[in-house]
Amino acid sequence: MKKTVNLAFFYAIMAMVGGVFYREFTKYSGFEGRTALGFVHTHLFMLGMLMFLAVAFAIKLFSVDKSKRYKAFMWSYNAGLVLTVIMLLVRGWFQVTQTALTRSLNGMISGLAGMGHIFLGIGIILFFLALKERTE
């Protein structure tokens, strides 16, 4: 459980760093308007910190970490979250610097972000299956 709480804390710190980066980078660049960078902060807080705090409670209450699906959940979910956040940073960087993206680069960024969301979804399903296994 300690590793899970530490992971939640790590994502909380990264969320704050992401928020500061968004604010300072857009201010420094003179950018006004919406950008994908604005979503890094909330994705890391909600999908990172809050999710792993909930997982820590599930470990405490149901020993969900003893499930055979738990390890697969951790790998899939963390990989999905990291990939999603990286693609938000990449897209946001291009938006703030107002760099024109080629059609293929734009598609690649969208595709990788989509894969990140798919891994997150698989991780959520694995978590619920592990939770169901431990509560039966």
User: Per-residue pLDDT tens for 101-116?
Assistant: 899 999 999 999 999 9
For residue 106, what are the CA distances in angstroms to 25, 81, 91, 103? 21, 20, 8, 5
For the beta carbon of residue 103, count every other beta carbon within 10 angstroms.
7
Q: Are 38 and 71 in contact (CB under 8 A)?
A: no
For the beta carbon of residue 56, count every other beta carbon within 10 angstroms.
20
Q: Are 26 and 37 in contact (CB under 8 A)?
A: yes
* pTM of the predicted structure, to 2 decimals: 0.93
24-66 pLDDT, tens per residue?
Answer: 999 999 999 999 999 999 999 999 999 999 999 999 999 999 9
